Protein backbone atom coordinates (compact mmCIF):
# COMPACT_ATOMS: atom_id res chain seq x y z
CA UNK A 1 0.00 0.00 0.00
CA UNK A 2 1.27 3.45 -0.89
CA UNK A 3 3.16 5.41 1.79
CA UNK A 4 4.18 8.96 0.87
CA UNK A 5 6.86 10.74 2.87
CA UNK A 6 7.08 14.52 2.49
CA UNK A 7 9.95 16.61 3.79
CA UNK A 8 8.95 20.02 5.13
CA UNK A 9 6.78 22.01 7.49
CA UNK A 10 3.36 20.41 7.83
CA UNK A 11 1.48 23.72 8.12
CA UNK A 12 2.89 24.89 4.77
CA UNK A 13 2.48 21.51 3.07
CA UNK A 14 -1.13 21.25 4.23
CA UNK A 15 -1.79 24.46 2.28
CA UNK A 16 -0.36 23.20 -0.99
CA UNK A 17 -2.56 21.83 -3.72
CA UNK A 18 -0.62 18.59 -3.85
CA UNK A 19 -2.50 15.63 -5.30
CA UNK A 20 -1.24 13.42 -2.47
CA UNK A 21 -3.53 15.47 -0.23
CA UNK A 22 -6.81 14.66 -1.96
CA UNK A 23 -8.56 13.73 1.26
CA UNK A 24 -7.67 12.29 4.62
CA UNK A 25 -9.71 9.77 6.64
CA UNK A 26 -7.64 9.68 9.83
CA UNK A 27 -4.89 11.84 11.34
CA UNK A 28 -2.56 10.90 14.16
CA UNK A 29 -1.27 14.16 15.62
CA UNK A 30 1.79 13.76 17.81
CA UNK A 31 3.46 17.17 17.66
CA UNK A 32 6.50 18.37 19.61
CA UNK A 33 5.13 19.07 23.11
CA UNK A 34 6.92 22.40 23.54
CA UNK A 35 9.02 20.94 26.34
CA UNK A 36 12.36 22.29 25.17
CA UNK A 37 13.42 18.91 23.74
CA UNK A 38 16.51 18.95 21.55
CA UNK A 39 14.88 18.71 18.10
CA UNK A 40 17.33 19.28 15.23
CA UNK A 41 15.15 21.61 13.21
CA UNK A 42 12.49 22.87 15.54
CA UNK A 43 12.23 25.38 18.38
CA UNK A 44 10.54 23.31 21.09
CA UNK A 45 10.39 26.20 23.51
CA UNK A 46 7.89 28.66 22.05
CA UNK A 47 5.83 31.06 24.11
CA UNK A 48 2.75 29.08 25.16
CA UNK A 49 0.21 31.25 23.31
CA UNK A 50 2.21 31.08 20.07
CA UNK A 51 2.46 27.29 20.33
CA UNK A 52 -1.31 26.90 20.70
CA UNK A 53 -2.01 29.33 17.86
CA UNK A 54 0.22 27.15 15.70
CA UNK A 55 -1.54 23.94 16.84
CA UNK A 56 -4.91 25.57 16.12
CA UNK A 57 -3.76 26.46 12.63
CA UNK A 58 -2.54 22.90 11.97
CA UNK A 59 -5.79 21.39 13.32
CA UNK A 60 -7.85 23.70 11.09
CA UNK A 61 -5.86 22.77 8.00
CA UNK A 62 -6.21 19.06 8.74
CA UNK A 63 -9.95 19.54 9.29
CA UNK A 64 -10.33 21.02 5.81
CA UNK A 65 -8.48 18.08 4.29
CA UNK A 66 -10.55 15.48 6.16
CA UNK A 67 -13.53 13.56 4.79
CA UNK A 68 -16.87 13.97 6.50
CA UNK A 69 -16.83 11.76 9.60
CA UNK A 70 -13.03 11.41 9.44
CA UNK A 71 -11.10 11.24 12.70
CA UNK A 72 -8.20 12.89 14.49
CA UNK A 73 -6.27 11.52 17.49
CA UNK A 74 -4.32 14.32 19.16
CA UNK A 75 -1.70 13.16 21.68
CA UNK A 76 -0.37 15.50 24.36
CA UNK A 77 0.69 15.77 28.00
CA UNK A 78 -2.17 15.39 30.51
CA UNK A 79 -1.35 18.87 31.81
CA UNK A 80 -2.38 20.34 28.45
CA UNK A 81 -5.80 18.66 28.21
CA UNK A 82 -7.71 21.93 28.41
CA UNK A 83 -5.70 23.49 25.56
CA UNK A 84 -6.03 20.37 23.38
CA UNK A 85 -9.79 20.23 23.74
CA UNK A 86 -10.16 23.96 23.11
CA UNK A 87 -7.87 23.79 20.09
CA UNK A 88 -9.91 20.95 18.55
CA UNK A 89 -13.24 22.60 19.27
CA UNK A 90 -12.16 25.96 17.84
CA UNK A 91 -10.90 24.33 14.66
CA UNK A 92 -14.24 22.62 14.02
CA UNK A 93 -13.71 19.10 15.39
CA UNK A 94 -16.35 17.25 17.44
CA UNK A 95 -15.01 15.69 20.60
CA UNK A 96 -15.60 11.94 21.06
CA UNK A 97 -13.29 10.60 23.78
CA UNK A 98 -10.42 11.56 25.99
CA UNK A 99 -8.25 8.47 25.92
CA UNK A 100 -6.00 7.90 28.88
CA UNK A 101 -2.82 6.15 27.81
CA UNK A 102 -1.41 4.67 31.00
CA UNK A 103 1.92 3.56 29.73
CA UNK A 104 2.90 0.55 31.90
CA UNK A 105 5.89 2.52 33.13
CA UNK A 106 6.50 4.05 36.56
CA UNK A 107 4.80 7.33 37.38
CA UNK A 108 6.83 10.54 37.23
CA UNK A 109 6.78 11.77 40.84
CA UNK A 110 5.41 15.27 41.50
CA UNK A 111 6.48 17.47 44.41
CA UNK A 112 3.31 19.54 44.57
CA UNK A 113 0.78 17.35 42.79
CA UNK A 114 0.08 13.65 42.26
CA UNK A 115 2.60 11.63 40.30
CA UNK A 116 2.05 11.66 36.55
CA UNK A 117 1.05 8.27 35.22
CA UNK A 118 -0.59 8.84 31.85
CA UNK A 119 -0.70 10.83 28.65
CA UNK A 120 -3.87 11.93 26.86
CA UNK A 121 -5.06 11.21 23.34
CA UNK A 122 -8.10 13.29 22.35
CA UNK A 123 -10.25 11.53 19.76
CA UNK A 124 -12.46 13.83 17.67
CA UNK A 125 -14.32 13.66 14.36
CA UNK A 126 -15.39 15.91 11.53
CA UNK A 127 -19.11 16.03 12.27
CA UNK A 128 -21.10 14.39 15.05
CA UNK A 129 -20.64 10.79 14.00
CA UNK A 130 -17.51 8.95 12.91
CA UNK A 131 -17.58 7.66 9.34
CA UNK A 132 -15.85 4.50 10.59
CA UNK A 133 -15.64 3.23 14.13
CA UNK A 134 -14.81 -0.41 14.70
CA UNK A 135 -15.64 -1.58 18.21
CA UNK A 136 -12.51 -3.61 18.89
CA UNK A 137 -12.52 -6.31 21.53
CA UNK A 138 -9.51 -7.26 23.61
CA UNK A 139 -8.98 -9.85 26.32
CA UNK A 140 -6.55 -8.50 28.92
CA UNK A 141 -5.77 -10.49 32.07
CA UNK A 142 -8.61 -10.34 34.61
CA UNK A 143 -8.08 -7.74 37.35
CA UNK A 144 -7.39 -9.18 40.80
CA UNK A 145 -10.61 -10.12 42.57
CA UNK A 146 -12.61 -10.84 39.40
CA UNK A 147 -14.38 -14.13 39.84
CA UNK A 148 -15.46 -15.19 36.37
CA UNK A 149 -13.46 -15.57 33.19
CA UNK A 150 -14.75 -13.51 30.28
CA UNK A 151 -16.42 -15.52 27.57
CA UNK A 152 -15.36 -13.39 24.66
CA UNK A 153 -13.10 -10.57 25.81
CA UNK A 154 -14.38 -7.02 26.29
CA UNK A 155 -14.88 -3.88 24.24
CA UNK A 156 -12.01 -1.44 24.35
CA UNK A 157 -12.62 1.46 26.72
CA UNK A 158 -11.07 4.92 26.84
CA UNK A 159 -8.39 3.75 29.28
CA UNK A 160 -5.50 2.11 27.44
CA UNK A 161 -3.22 0.55 30.01
CA UNK A 162 -1.85 -2.37 28.02
CA UNK A 163 0.65 -0.59 25.75
CA UNK A 164 4.17 0.07 26.93
CA UNK A 165 5.90 3.30 26.06
CA UNK A 166 9.29 2.92 24.32
CA UNK A 167 11.24 4.37 27.22
CA UNK A 168 14.99 4.28 27.52
CA UNK A 169 16.78 1.11 28.54
CA UNK A 170 15.76 -2.44 27.85
CA UNK A 171 12.02 -1.69 28.03
CA UNK A 172 12.23 -0.11 24.62
CA UNK A 173 13.34 -3.51 23.29
CA UNK A 174 13.99 -4.24 19.63
CA UNK A 175 11.28 -1.87 18.47
CA UNK A 176 13.29 1.26 19.30
CA UNK A 177 15.43 2.37 16.37
CA UNK A 178 19.07 2.64 17.38
CA UNK A 179 22.38 3.57 15.79
CA UNK A 180 25.43 1.27 15.87
CA UNK A 181 26.33 2.50 19.34
CA UNK A 182 22.88 1.64 20.67
CA UNK A 183 21.66 5.23 20.98
CA UNK A 184 17.98 5.87 20.27
CA UNK A 185 17.51 7.54 16.88
CA UNK A 186 14.20 9.15 17.80
CA UNK A 187 13.40 9.66 21.47
CA UNK A 188 9.69 10.18 20.82
CA UNK A 189 9.16 7.02 18.74
CA UNK A 190 5.58 5.87 19.33
CA UNK A 191 4.90 2.14 19.85
CA UNK A 192 3.41 0.29 16.87
CA UNK A 193 0.71 -1.11 19.18
CA UNK A 194 -0.71 2.37 19.73
CA UNK A 195 -0.98 3.13 16.01
CA UNK A 196 -2.38 -0.32 15.33
CA UNK A 197 -5.24 0.34 17.74
CA UNK A 198 -5.97 3.81 16.37
CA UNK A 199 -5.85 2.82 12.70
CA UNK A 200 -7.94 -0.32 13.25
CA UNK A 201 -10.57 1.62 15.22
CA UNK A 202 -11.03 4.51 12.81
CA UNK A 203 -10.33 3.31 9.27
CA UNK A 204 -11.12 0.66 6.70
CA UNK A 205 -8.58 -0.92 4.37
CA UNK A 206 -7.84 1.49 1.51
CA UNK A 207 -8.46 4.62 3.65
CA UNK A 208 -5.90 7.43 3.87
CA UNK A 209 -4.00 8.06 7.10
CA UNK A 210 -2.06 11.27 7.72
CA UNK A 211 0.75 11.88 10.19
CA UNK A 212 1.81 15.56 10.00
CA UNK A 213 4.64 15.06 12.54
CA UNK A 214 5.88 11.66 11.43
CA UNK A 215 9.10 11.43 13.45
CA UNK A 216 10.40 7.91 12.90
CA UNK A 217 7.43 6.93 10.71
CA UNK A 218 5.53 4.59 13.04
CA UNK A 219 2.15 5.58 11.56
CA UNK A 220 3.26 4.85 8.00
CA UNK A 221 4.85 1.53 8.95
CA UNK A 222 1.63 0.31 10.59
CA UNK A 223 -0.72 1.76 7.96
CA UNK A 224 1.18 0.02 5.18
CA UNK A 225 0.80 -3.39 6.82
CA UNK A 226 -2.93 -2.80 7.34
CA UNK A 227 -3.51 -1.99 3.69
CA UNK A 228 -4.17 1.73 4.35
CA UNK A 229 -2.59 4.51 2.34
CA UNK A 230 -0.50 6.95 4.32
CA UNK A 231 1.03 10.40 4.08
CA UNK A 232 3.75 11.41 6.51
CA UNK A 233 5.27 14.87 6.87
CA UNK A 234 8.53 15.45 8.71
CA UNK A 235 10.60 18.59 9.05
CA UNK A 236 13.93 16.99 9.90
CA UNK A 237 15.66 15.46 6.87
CA UNK A 238 17.48 12.90 9.03
CA UNK A 239 14.09 11.63 10.22
CA UNK A 240 12.84 11.53 6.63
CA UNK A 241 15.72 9.21 5.80
CA UNK A 242 14.95 7.08 8.86
CA UNK A 243 11.31 6.75 7.74
CA UNK A 244 12.28 5.78 4.20
CA UNK A 245 14.74 3.18 5.45
CA UNK A 246 12.29 1.84 8.01
CA UNK A 247 9.60 1.40 5.37
CA UNK A 248 12.02 -0.27 2.99
CA UNK A 249 13.61 -2.60 5.50
CA UNK A 250 10.49 -4.09 7.11
CA UNK A 251 12.11 -4.97 10.43
CA UNK A 252 10.82 -7.93 12.42
CA UNK A 253 10.25 -5.60 15.39
CA UNK A 254 7.81 -3.58 13.26
CA UNK A 255 5.82 -6.63 12.17
CA UNK A 256 2.23 -6.29 13.45
CA UNK A 257 1.08 -9.80 12.55
CA UNK A 258 1.84 -11.14 16.05
CA UNK A 259 -0.58 -8.56 17.45
CA UNK A 260 -3.57 -9.99 15.54
CA UNK A 261 -4.30 -12.33 18.44
CA UNK A 262 -4.74 -9.35 20.83
CA UNK A 263 -7.95 -8.47 18.96
CA UNK A 264 -9.16 -11.94 18.02
CA UNK A 265 -12.42 -11.50 19.98
CA UNK A 266 -13.40 -8.73 17.53
CA UNK A 267 -16.08 -9.74 15.01
CA UNK A 268 -14.95 -9.37 11.38
CA UNK A 269 -11.35 -8.79 12.42
CA UNK A 270 -9.97 -10.25 9.17
CA UNK A 271 -11.92 -7.67 7.18
CA UNK A 272 -11.01 -4.72 9.42
CA UNK A 273 -7.35 -5.75 9.49
CA UNK A 274 -7.23 -5.95 5.72
CA UNK A 275 -4.65 -8.68 5.92
CA UNK A 276 -2.28 -8.57 3.02
CA UNK A 277 0.26 -11.19 2.06
CA UNK A 278 3.15 -11.54 4.47
CA UNK A 279 5.90 -9.00 4.36
CA UNK A 280 9.10 -9.66 2.46
CA UNK A 281 12.26 -8.12 3.75
CA UNK A 282 14.41 -6.22 1.28
CA UNK A 283 18.18 -6.03 1.25
CA UNK A 284 19.31 -3.17 3.48
CA UNK A 285 20.95 -0.28 1.72
CA UNK A 286 24.51 0.86 2.33
CA UNK A 287 25.12 3.61 4.89
CA UNK A 288 21.98 2.96 6.84
CA UNK A 289 21.19 5.10 9.86
CA UNK A 290 19.96 2.30 12.09
CA UNK A 291 20.99 -1.19 13.07
CA UNK A 292 18.93 -4.02 11.65
CA UNK A 293 17.51 -6.68 13.91
CA UNK A 294 19.41 -9.91 13.59
CA UNK A 295 16.16 -11.77 12.88
CA UNK A 296 14.61 -9.91 10.03
CA UNK A 297 11.57 -11.53 8.48
C1 LIG B 1 6.75 13.86 18.90
S2 LIG B 1 7.66 13.60 17.45
C3 LIG B 1 6.69 12.42 16.56
C4 LIG B 1 7.12 11.00 16.85
C5 LIG B 1 6.37 9.98 16.02
N6 LIG B 1 5.02 9.79 16.49
C7 LIG B 1 7.11 8.65 15.97
O8 LIG B 1 6.50 7.59 16.14
O9 LIG B 1 8.32 8.66 15.76
C10 LIG B 1 7.39 15.09 16.56
C11 LIG B 1 8.12 15.17 15.24
O12 LIG B 1 7.66 16.33 14.54
C13 LIG B 1 8.73 16.86 13.78
N14 LIG B 1 8.37 18.27 13.49
C15 LIG B 1 8.54 19.36 14.26
N16 LIG B 1 8.03 20.44 13.68
C17 LIG B 1 7.49 20.04 12.51
C18 LIG B 1 6.79 20.71 11.47
N19 LIG B 1 6.56 22.02 11.53
N20 LIG B 1 6.37 19.99 10.40
C21 LIG B 1 6.62 18.66 10.33
N22 LIG B 1 7.29 17.96 11.29
C23 LIG B 1 7.71 18.64 12.37
C24 LIG B 1 9.94 16.69 14.68
O25 LIG B 1 11.15 16.70 13.92
C26 LIG B 1 9.63 15.32 15.31
O27 LIG B 1 10.27 14.28 14.60
Contact 9 CB / ligand 1 (< 6 Å): yes
Question: What is the pLDDT at residue 85?
Answer: 98
Mean pLDDT score of the chain, rounded to an integer? 90
Of 62-76, 161-175, 208-222, the range with the lowest mean pLDDT is 161-175
Question: What is the pLDDT at residue 282?
Answer: 47
Model confidence band, residue 295 (pLDDT cutoffs 50, 70, 90) = very low
Bridge partners of 181, per DSSP, are none
pLDDT, average across residues 275-294: 56
- For atom 20 of ligand 1, which residue has the closest CA? 9
Contact 165 CB / ligand 1 (< 6 Å): no
Model confidence band, residue 294 (pLDDT cutoffs 50, 70, 90) = very low
Of 133-147, 155-169, 215-229, 275-289, the range with the lowest mean pLDDT is 275-289
Q: Which of 37, 61, 193, 234 to mutate to test the pocket of ligand 1 (most atoms within 8 A of CB)?
A: 234
* Short-list 123, 158, 119, CA closest to 35: 119
Q: What is the DSSP string of the chain?
A: --EEEEES-HHHHHHS--GGGS-EEEEEE----SS----SS------HHHHHHHHHHHHHHHHHHEEEEEEEEEEEEGGGHHHHHHHHHHTTPEEEEEEEEE-SSPPBP-SSSPPB-EEEEEEEESSSS-S-----EE-PPPPTT--S--SS-EE--SEE-S-----SGGGGGGGS-B-TT--BS-TTPPPHHHHHHHHHHH--TT-EEEESS-TTTHHHHHHHHTT-EEEEEES-HHHHHHHHHHHHH--GGG--GGGGGGGTTSTTHHHHHT--SPP---PPPTT-SSPPPTT--
Question: What is the pLDDT at residue 211?
Answer: 98
Contact 118 CB / ligand 1 (< 6 Å): no
- For atom 17 of ligand 1, which residue has the closest CA? 235
Of 152-156, 183-187, 215-219, the range with the lowest mean pLDDT is 183-187
Domains of the chain: 3-273 (3.40.50.150)
Contact 218 CB / ligand 1 (< 6 Å): yes
Question: What is the pLDDT at residue 214?
Answer: 98
Question: What is the pLDDT at residue 84?
Answer: 98
Ligand 1 centroid vs 47 CA: distance in angstroms? 18
- If one compares 277 and 245, the residue with the highest pLDDT of the two is 245
- For atom 27 of ligand 1, which residue has the closest CA? 215
pLDDT at residue 204 tops 90:
yes
Q: Which of 42, 50, 165, 230 to mutate to test the pocket of ligand 1 (most atoms within 8 A of CB)?
A: 42
What pLDDT, in 10s, does the model give residues 254-264? 999 999 999 99
Model confidence band, residue 172 (pLDDT cutoffs 50, 70, 90) = low
pLDDT, average across residues 221-248: 97
Amino acid sequence: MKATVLHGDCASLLDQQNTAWGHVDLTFLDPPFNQDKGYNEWDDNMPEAQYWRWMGDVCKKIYHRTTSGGAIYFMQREKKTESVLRCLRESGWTFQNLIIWKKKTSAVPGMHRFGKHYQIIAFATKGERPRVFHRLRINPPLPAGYKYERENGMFLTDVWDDIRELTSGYFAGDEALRDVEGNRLHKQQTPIQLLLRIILSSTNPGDIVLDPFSGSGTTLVVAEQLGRESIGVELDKVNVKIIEERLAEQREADDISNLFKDYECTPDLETIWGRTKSRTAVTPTQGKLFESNPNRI
